């Protein structure tokens, strides 16, 4: 009779260990999935930030190029003041 009781208790312990392990695996899978979702969201935000920064750099570059071009043209053009004095 004790051996029957011991057998039932060992089976119960094994079942509870298996349930606990399964619950731990499922919890870890949920955490991993959530972390992947967070990483994906941060990656998307970084990508948008990079695109925006790149666009701003291009805009600044175009502005700088435009200013440099205007300066070059103005330096090449004779000024009215210079021609009047000369």
pLDDT digits (tens, 9 = 90+) for 11-65: 999 999 999 999 999 999 999 999 888 777 766 666 666 666 666 666 666 666 7
pLDDT tier at 75 (50, 70, 90 boundaries)? Answer: confident
Binned at pLDDT 50, 70 and 90, residue 72 comes out as confident
Is 32 part of a structural domain of the chain? no
What's the mean pLDDT in 58-84? 65
Tell me if 37 is assigned to some domain: no
- Nearest in space to 54 (alpha carbons), one of 76, 36, 19, 62: 62
Domain interval for residue 68: 49-74
Q: Could you give the count of Cα atoms lying within 13 Å of 19 in the half-sphere of its Cβ? A: 6
Does residue 41 lie in a domain region? no
Using CA atoms, how far apart are residues 12 and 23, in angstroms rounded to an integer? Answer: 16
- The token pair that represents 2 in the structure block: 């004790």
**23: in domain:** no
Q: Where is 65: in which H helix or E strand?
A: helix 2-76
Q: What's the total number of domains in the chain?
A: 1
């Amino acid at each position: 009779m004790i051996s029957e009781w011991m057998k039932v208790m060992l089976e119960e312990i094994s079942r509870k260990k298996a349930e606990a392990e399964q619950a731990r695996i499922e919890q870890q899978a949920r955490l991993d999935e959530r972390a992947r979702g967070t990483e994906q969201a941060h990656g998307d935000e970084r990508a948008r930030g990079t695109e925006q920064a790149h666009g701003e750099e291009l805009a600044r570059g175009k502005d700088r190029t435009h200013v440099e071009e205007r300066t070059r043209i103005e330096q090449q053009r004779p000024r009215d003041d210079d021609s009047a004095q000369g």
